Structure 1
Amino acid sequence: MYKRILAAIDWTASTEAVLDQTRHLASLTGATVLVLHVRATDFPSLPSILGALASQALAGEPAASDAGSVAQRMVDDAVAVLSTAGVHAEGLLLESTPGHTPRAVLDQAREREVDLIVLGRRHHGGPSALFRSNVADEVFRHAECPVLIVP
């Protein structure tokens, strides 16, 4: 059924659920997984920095010196989690300008000929939600393969 799955992660609360669903589906189907994180180049992601610093502190490792290193470490950690579960996975960190994350995800899905995209829904609250598109919604609208949106 699925041979290639793209798991788009953003280090919000849904990332763990995205990886769990991806692991489960890949285990059932024997699919390989591409773990993708698209980082906005103009500013570091606060959740990613805090998560990486906590992870490094628990592991007794020195803190990464820049947001790109932090993001790469998180992708590597996600690949390790999947690999430990017996899933063949590789990671990819892309940099993009703000607002172009959905296009980056869709481009990778097309280039890698994935059969399924798994990603979480990022909830924007307050008035800004009216003016900002949701990455999951944009990917869902324009994907050429099935999309699983994990709450």
Structure 2
Amino acid sequence: MYKRILAAIDWTPSSEDVLDQTRQLASLTGAAVVVVHVRAADFPSLPSILGVLASQALAGEPAGNEASSVARRMVDDATAVLTTAGVRAEGLLLQSTPGSVPRAVLDQAREMDADLVVLGSRSDGPPSVLFRSNVADEVSRHARCPVLIVP
């Protein structure tokens, strides 16, 4: 059924649910997973990065000095969760301009010939998200494969 799953994660709480759904599907089908995070120029917000840095400090880990190192850690951690569960997974950190995140996800799904894209709804985003196109909506409208949107 599924051979290649793209799991798109971000800083929202739904990323944990995205990984859980991806793990379940990959375990059932034997699919390989590519965990993708798209880092936009205006990303992350100060509260988001402070939360990640606080978590690292509590865990006794050294804090990264730039947002890309924190984003890389997020992707690596997500990939480790999947591989620990026996899923073949690799991580990918992409760069994008603001507003081009959906295009980056779609391009990566096409490039890897994904059978499924799994991503969160981002319904709990900040008010500024209301004025931009929702990533999940854009991906679901333009994807060439099925899309699972996790609430």
TM-score (norm 2): 0.92
Residue 31 (structure 1) aligns with: 31
Distance change (3 Å), C-alpha of 1:128 and 1:77: closer
Match of 1:44 in 2: 44
In structure 1, the partner of 2:9 is 9
SS in 1 for 2:86: coil
Distance 1:145 1:47, change over 3 A: farther
Q: Which amino acid aligns with 2:20?
A: D
Could you tell me how far 1:52 is from its partner in structure 2?
Answer: 2.6
Describe the shift of the 1:61–1:136 C-alpha distance in structure 2 as closer, same or farther (beyond 3 A): same
Deviation at 1:57, TM superposition (A): 1.9
> Please, what is the CA RMSD of the aligned residues?
1.7
1:64-75 to 2 correspondences below 5 Å: 64-75=64-75
| 1:64 counterpart letter in structure 2 | G
CA apart distance, 1:48: 4.5
Superposed CA deviations along residues 23-53 of structure 1, whole A, max 9, x for unmatched, are: 0000000000000000112443446523431
Alpha-carbon separation, structure 1, partners of 2:136 and 2:19: 15
Count of residues paired in the alignment? 150
- CA separation in 2, counterparts of 1:49 and 1:68? 10
Corresponding residue for residue 79 of structure 2: 79
Partner of 2:146: 146
SS of 2:119's equivalent in the other structure is: strand
Contact 1:11 1:47 in 2 (8 A): no
CA separation of 1:122 and 1:104: change in aligned 2, threshold 3 A? same
Map 1:120-139 → 2, pairs under 5 A: 120-123=120-123, 124=125, 129=130, 131-139=131-139
| Cα pair 1:48 1:71 within 8 Å, conserved | no
The CA distance in 1 between the partners of 2:138 and 2:30, in whole Å, is: 28
CA contact (8 A) 1:39 1:45 kept: no
Percent identity over the alignment is 77
- TM superposition score normalised by structure 1: 0.92
**Amino acid in structure 2 at the alignment position of 1:144:** R
Match of 1:19 in 2: 19
Q: CA deviation at 1:125?
A: 6.2
